[in-house]
Amino acid sequence: MAHLLRKLSSPDRIVAVAAAGSALLYANTSGDSKWRIVVSIPTPISEALLLPWKTKEWDHWHFGMYSFKSDGSVPPPDIRKDDASGVPIAAGERPTRTYANAFAKVGPAVVHIFVPNKGQFSGTIIDKDGTILTCAHGLVDLQKFGDSYKGKVHITLQDGRTFEGPVVNVDVHSDIAIIKINSETPLPSAQLGSSSKVQPGDCVIAVGSPHLLKSTVTAGIVSCAARKSSEMRPGGWREYREYIQTDCSFNPGNSGGPLVNMDGEVIGVNLLKTRSADGLNFAEPIDSVIKIMDQFKKNGRVVRPWLGVKMIELNDVIISQLKQRDVSFPNVKKGILVPMVTPGSPGERAGFRPGDVVSEFDGKTVETVKEVIEIVGDRVGEPLKVVVKRVKDEQVILTVIPEESSHPDM
C-alpha cells in the first residue's frame, strides 16, 4: 500500500487514503466530560503522504477549528494574537494596549461631579494640583454667553474621597470648564495625549458616570477625527469648531468625562450626543482644549477676535459649481469663500465683499477656516494683511483689525 501511494500524485494520495480507510478519525470523552478528537494514520502511510517539498516534520493537521498531530497528540494552542490596537503580541506575552489597561491608567483620575440645582456629570483630574477638566454645560446655560457659576461643586473620586471646589474658568463657546480641588494626600491624574494623531478607526474608550453609575467605561472607535460643527448644525452658534466623532456610548452623566486612546491618554472631552441616532457622539479634541486652558492662564478667559465675515472652504466641486453660475468667478483651485459680510463689522470696514476668495492671511497661504482661526489667535486690535481674489481674477490686499466679541462666529 505504501509503495503504491508513493507513485501517485499528491491529490491522488489523499483520495487513496480515504478509499483505503487507512486513516481513522474518532472522538471520545473521558469521565470529566472533556472531548478529544484524534486522527490516527499508520506510520508507513503518513510517510508516503509527505509532499515532495515537505519534510517529515509536516505532521500538523487541521480539522475544522481543531488542530492535532498524526500521532494523536494535540499541540499547544497558538496564543499569538493582536491587542485592541492591532499590535502583534508574541506567544506567552500579555497585550499592553488593551481597553482594560487604558482604563486602569485613566480611571482613578475620572471624577463624579455634583452641582446643587444643576445636575451631575463627569470630569478628569489632569495634574497633581487638583485641576479638573470638565464641560461647561453642567454648570451654566450655554445660550447665555458670559454666564458663570459662582458656587462650589461636589467632587467624588473613584477611591471614594469627596471634595468641594470652586469653578475657576468657564468658556461657554467651547463648552469647557475648569474646577479646582485641594488635597493633603496625593491625587491621581490623567496624562493628556494629542488629538492631532487621532485617525478614523482608532480604538478608544469613554469614561464617566452615566445615570450616576460611577467609573463606567464604554468602548468604540473614532468615527471621524475632525467633524466640523457646520456639518452637524449648519449656521448654528458652534460654527467654526471641530470634534472627534466616536461610537462610544454616551449617556446623561458622561458629559465632561475623557475620551481615551489605547495608551491611556486623554484625547478629548466628551460633550455631545445625537439623540435621534445611536453611535453619533462627539468630543472636544484635547489639542483645542489645551489652547483654551492656555488662554485661561494668560487672559483669565478665552479671547476670541471677531472679523464679521462668514467663511466657506472651497473644493473642486464647489469651485466648479460657482464657475458654472458665474464665468467671472476667480480662477482658483483652493481658498476660502466669503459669502457674507456683517454690516458695521471689522470685515466690512476692511473692505471685504461677498464673493471674495481669501488666499493669504497675515502672509500665510490659507485653505481652511481652521488655519485662519489659528493665525488670528487672540490678536485683538492688531492689523492683519489679507489677500483676496475677486471676479476676473482681480487681486486685492485688505487690512483687517479684529475686535473682541463674545459672539463665537467669525
* Active-site annotation, residues: 137, 175, 255
Residue with cell 459672539: 407
d(CA 48, CA 50): 6
- Of 55, 87, 61, 88, the closest CA to residue 74 belongs to 61
DSSP 393: G
Residues 6+ apart with CB under 8 A from 326: 391
Alpha helices in 23-129 (DSSP H): 43-48, 99-106
In degrees, rounded to 5, the angle at the alpha carbon of residue 369 between the alpha carbons of residues 401 and 344 is 35
Q: Are strands 66-69 and 81-82 parallel, antiparallel or unpaired?
A: unpaired
Q: How far is CA 276 from CA 80, 102, 222, 281, in A?
A: 41, 30, 19, 11
Task: Read off φ and ψ for residue 55, nearest 5 degrees.
Answer: -105, 180
- C-alpha R_g of the chain: 32
d(CA 1, CA 45): 8
SS3 content of the chain, % helix, strand, coil (to 5): 20, 35, 45
d(CA 340, CA 354): 5
Q: Are 338 and 311 in contact (CB under 8 A)?
A: yes
